[in-house]
Amino acid sequence: MKTTVTTGRAGRPPARRPGAAGGVRYPDPPLRLTRRGRIVVVAALTLVTLGALWVGARIDAASALEHGGREELSWVVVRGGDTLWEIADAVTEGGDPAPTIRRIMDLNGLSDSVIRPGTRLYLPDGSAP
């Protein structure tokens, strides 16, 4: 004796697991961000934008110092035995040469007071060797 069991799925193929061989692939649900996720994305994009603006400003400032604005400045070529203190003292009109040293370092992009012979050092406005 045969028994036939029917279900309410007459005419439908059996369900298959997604990704199974020959199986039906269902579309992924749309990406949904929580409130915290949106805040993180906005903060990350803001940081990237600010970082790019900062780098651009630094490049622009360095380019301006390198290509423009130096034409009017006095400069000296460092000779063997010269020190930054001696050069600053020679162009400072009396008083302490320390502020002039700082301005020379800033103007020439020096991270320390070590200078090498043959280097061209730009001097602050109003200074002449």
Q: Which residues pair with 96 in a beta bridge?
A: none
Give yes or no for a contact between 86 and 72, defined as CB atoms under 8 angstroms apart: no
61 shares its domain with 83: no
Which helix (DSSP H) or strand (DSSP E) does residue 62 occupy?
Answer: helix 35-67
Whole-number mean pLDDT of the chain?
81
The pLDDT tens digits for 50-71 are 999 988 888 876 666 665 566 6
> In 3-state terms, what secondary structure has residue 33?
coil
Terminus-to-terminus CA distance in the chain, angstroms?
118
Domain count, the chain: 2
Co-location of 43 and 84 in the same domain: no
pLDDT at 68: 56
Question: In the chain, what is the greatest distance between 2 CA atoms, to the nearest angstrom?
Answer: 121
Per the structure, the complete domain to which residue 84 belongs is given by 73-129
Is position 9 within any domain? no
Residue 69's SS3 state is: coil
Of the chain, the percentage scoring pLDDT greater than 70 comes to 71
Write the pLDDT tens digit of every residue in 93-123.
Answer: 888 899 999 999 988 888 888 999 999 998 8
Q: Are residues 63 and 77 in the same domain?
A: no
pLDDT band at 30 (very low <50, low <70, confident <90, very high): confident
HSE-up of 51 (CA within 13 Å, CB side)?
6
